[in-house]
């Protein structure tokens, strides 16, 4: 049986809050989960849910109050646990007066690569993240999206087996988000394990084999998309044109709800328990045209809201997600 890449067991983190008489604030409460080799695992939640705290604990940037975590079988308190890990922080900050090429060469050497190998890796990665033309441009002239792409490149400079990305889509335009999604999928296809935090649910739904949903520092749901999301049809959405008063009255008698978009054109919402075929036959018989028929299924967003609504909280002294 293949050993998990990450094992988290009742991991808890308290921060002291207050000046004169500090009291503990629980950012993460007894989190337990495992991440398997080669999977793309999403850590989802609203601001203050504990996502970034979880990643910082795994990377040894903060120490846990209680509980344990292991990466590649080694405790996260050990530096050796991070030898095969690449990391992108939520808001990467780099040396402004270096070029992108110089920065990746520098980071590659910090990871133990020879200068020539670090330069070669850096050049290839800049091309991979779409910054090849800007490789000799000073980072102070990069846009926020370009800095984010550079951050993804530096996370990959030592060819890690585990890639941890904190809000990797932050600051990216739609093209940038598409490119990073493609990059994550290519890392998965290479056999690498990817753990990322996000509140962009459509990206998680597209990329992840499994997700964990956090709220108020606690694990609310954990599993694959098929485990969490019921893909049965909840309703049908139809767009009809040429609807007269007689057909409209008949449609309402079925229990359907309608929205008039323009004279003769209506959008019909039919409960999923009712088959749409009779309605289509009535529409055709009345001379109306069916412009669209769309099943409405439960999405990851529905699951997310179900688990986190009413459990959001403000993080003392911060405006971002924890």
Decide if pLDDT at 317 tops 60.
no
Q: Residue 125: enclosing H or E segment and its boundaries?
A: helix 115-128
Neighbours of 197 (CB within 10 A): 26
Distances (CA, A) of 252 to 247, 249, 263, 269: 9, 5, 17, 10
Do 201 and 218 belong together in one domain?
yes
Non-local CB neighbours of 241 within 8 Å, separated by 6+ positions: 264, 265, 288, 289, 291
Write the burial class of residue 271 (CB in 10 Å: 0-12 exposed, 13-18 middle, 19+ buried). middle
pLDDT digits (tens, 9 = 90+) for 41-97: 999 888 888 898 999 999 999 999 999 999 999 999 998 889 899 999 988 889 989
Of 119, 130, 121, 120, whose CA–CA distance to 182 is shortest?
Answer: 130
Per-residue pLDDT, averaged over 231-252, amounts to 79
Count of domains for the chain: 2
Residue 151 lies in a domain: no
Residue 262: per-residue pLDDT: 84
Give bridge partners of residue 68 from the DSSP assignment: 9
Residue 237: per-residue pLDDT: 84
Residue 1 lies in a domain: no
Do 57 and 166 belong together in one domain?
yes
Residue 1: per-residue pLDDT: 62
Do 70 and 168 belong together in one domain?
yes
Of 263, 261, 272, 260, whose CA–CA distance to 297 is shortest?
Answer: 272
Res. 270 pLDDT band, cuts 50 70 90:
confident
Residue 97 lies in a domain: no
Give dist(CA 182, CA 78) in Å, integer. 32
Residue 118 lies in a domain: no
Tokens of 61: 């940037």
Residue 195 lies in a domain: yes
DSSP one-letter string for 207-271: H-SEEEEEETTEEEEEEEHHHH---SEEEEEEEEES--HHHHHHHHHTT-EEEEEETTEEEEEEE
Do 225 and 244 belong together in one domain?
no
Range of the domain at 14: 6-84+161-229+301-308
pLDDT digits (tens, 9 = 90+) for 97-108: 999 999 999 999
């Amino acid at each position: 049986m293949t050993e998990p890449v990450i094992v988290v067991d009742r991991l808890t983190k308290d921060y002291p809050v207050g000046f004169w008489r500090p009291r503990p604030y629980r950012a993460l409460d007894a989190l337990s989960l495992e991440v398997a080799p080669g999977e793309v695992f999403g850590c989802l939640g609203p601001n203050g849910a504990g996502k970034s705290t979880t990643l910082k604990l795994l990377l040894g940037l903060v120490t846990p109050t209680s509980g344990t975590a292991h990466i590649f079988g080694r405790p996260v308190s050990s530096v050796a646990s991070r030898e095969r890990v690449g990391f992108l922080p939520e808001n990467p900050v780099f040396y402004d007066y270096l070029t992108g090429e110089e920065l990746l060469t520098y980071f590659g050497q910090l990871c133990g690569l020879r200068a020539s190998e670090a330069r070669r890796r850096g050049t290839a990665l800049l091309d991979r993240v779409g910054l090849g033309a800007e490789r000799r441009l000073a980072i102070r002239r990069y846009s926020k999206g370009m800095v984010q792409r550079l951050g993804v490149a530096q996370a990959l400079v030592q060819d890690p087996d585990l890639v941890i990305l904190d809000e990797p889509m932050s600051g990216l335009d739609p093209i940038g988000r598409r490119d990073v999604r493609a990059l994550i999928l290519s890392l998965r296809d290479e056999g690498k394990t990817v753990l990322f935090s996000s509140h962009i649910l459509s990206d998680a739904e597209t990329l992840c084999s499994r997700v964990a949903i956090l709220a108020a520092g606690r694990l609310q749901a954990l599993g694959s998309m098929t485990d969490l999301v019921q893909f049965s049809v909840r309703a049908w959405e139809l767009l009809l044109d040429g609807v007269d008063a007689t057909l409209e009255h008949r449609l309402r008698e079925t229990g359907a709800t309608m929205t008039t978009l323009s004279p003769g054109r209506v959008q019909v919402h039919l409960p999923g328990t009712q088959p749409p075929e009779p309605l289509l036959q009535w529409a055709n018989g009345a001379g109306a045209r069916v412009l669209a028929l769309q099943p409405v299924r439960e999405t990851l967003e529905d699951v997310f809201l179900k688990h986190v609504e009413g459990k959001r909280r403000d993080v003392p002294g911060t405006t971002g997600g924890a």
